Structure 1
Amino acid sequence: MNAMTHTITLDKFHTVYISVGSNLGDRLENCRQGMAALDALDSVHVEFISRYYFTEPMDYTDQPWFVNAAARIRTRLGPAELLAELKSLEAAYGRKDTGVRFGPRPLDFDIIFLDDRVIDIPDLIVPHPRMHLREFVLRPICDLAPEMVHPVLKKTIRELLYALKSSGQSCIPVEALAN
């Protein structure tokens, strides 16, 4: 592991794609407030937010549906520092370690991409190792950057989403259900 991975780069902004999700409480409002709290940090600027989607839970399915979205942010924080900020926001919104992996949560952030880097440090792998299997991650990122190329899989987000079409995952735009 390179110690430089953990340092804050003061002269360079990083472009980061994150996902946000919630399936407890007012899910949509939790996601919106979480994004606003993220943007309020001095070290982060939220540039764009995707549409919000209602999504079926995966892996652990005996729980409420999620609301999910993605954002493109700019930050000077390194990967470990950004992860710490995201975990702090999750805790501030009531996330607790229940011991249930993939279980219900009021707010969940994941770092999906950080520039075009491949990162493997304690508690963080980027690109997110399961993102290409999850429509609730791919579809919102496709709203923001359909032609972005996954640095490991060497496919665009649009291609990864298309390849996933047969998975049967439900991912419904929130506004489609508001009418």
Structure 2
Amino acid sequence: MNCPDSLPLTPAFLSIGANVGNKLANIGRALRRLGVTEGIFVEALSKFYKTAPQNYTDQDWFVNAAIKINTAYSPEQLLEVLQAIEKEQDRDGKPFRFGPRKIDLDIIFYGQKVMSTATLVLPHPRMHERAFVLKPLCDIDKNLVHPVSGLTVGELFEQIKTDESQAVIALAKEETREIFY
């Protein structure tokens, strides 16, 4: 995909996660790929968290983080880029919805855009229910406002009951060192 020549950049927030294979190495590969993609500029990265699986719980725990980027891509083009990165790492993809995966990249916010198509809903339709999305977003900007609810991500995180089913456990820096090598 060609990056648009004009560069009006839009801030976007992404969620990244993995629960198959070497989770940290998978995330590291995806982050490096994002970092070298024309038209995407990585601005911030949250801490990394070990998180309980949601919806389908009979699977390994995830490692999750959030990323702030600025991008020249439209939301649909950005989705295509993220899906290509997922496909590079996992040709077969996840076996079923909410199932285990080597890498998962989701657009949580694209500026303050609100949209719903057959392939993309913005902001992410379940982000307000997920501690594994909200806690990392809070690391980057807890005052980021959800364009529909008007609540900040910090306020949305405070509304979630963080019991065992929503466990979000920060990894120590030494545990995440391999991501950057």
**TM-score normalised per structure 2:** 0.89
Q: Distance in 2 between matches of 1:177 and 1:45?
A: 26
Tell me, yes or no, if structure 1 residue 129 matches structure 2 residue 125: yes
Among candidates 62, 68, 80, match of residue 64 of structure 2: 68
Count of equivalent residues: 172
Tell me, yes or no, if structure 1 residue 42 matches structure 2 residue 58: no
Structure 1 unaligned regions, length at least 5: 1-7
Give the drift of 1:119: 1.6
Partner-residue secondary structure (3-state), 2:43: strand
Aligned position for 2:146: 150
Contact 2:131 2:168 in 1 (8 A): yes
| Partner AA of 1:96 in structure 2 | D
Tell me, yes or no, if structure 1 residue 14 matches structure 2 residue 10: yes
Give the drift of 1:121: 2.0
Alpha carbons of structure 1 residues 176 and 10: separation in structure 2 relative to 1, 3 Å: closer
Give the drift of 1:11: 4.4
Give the drift of 1:43: 1.5
Q: Distance in 2 between matches of 1:48 and 1:99?
A: 31
Structure 2 unaligned regions, length at least 5: 176-181
| Partner AA of 2:158 in structure 1 | Y
RMSD between aligned residues: 1.9
Give the drift of 1:28: 1.3
Partner-residue secondary structure (3-state), 2:172: helix
Q: Which stretches of structure 1, 4 residues or longer, exceed 2 Å deviation after superposition?
A: 8-11, 95-99, 165-168
Among candidates 160, 168, 173, match of residue 171 of structure 1: 168
| Partner AA of 1:54 in structure 2 | K
Aligned position for 1:139: 135
Contact 2:10 2:71 in 1 (8 A): yes
Q: Distance in 2 between matches of 1:96 and 1:122?
A: 22
Alpha carbons of structure 1 residues 48 and 95: separation in structure 2 relative to 1, 3 Å: farther
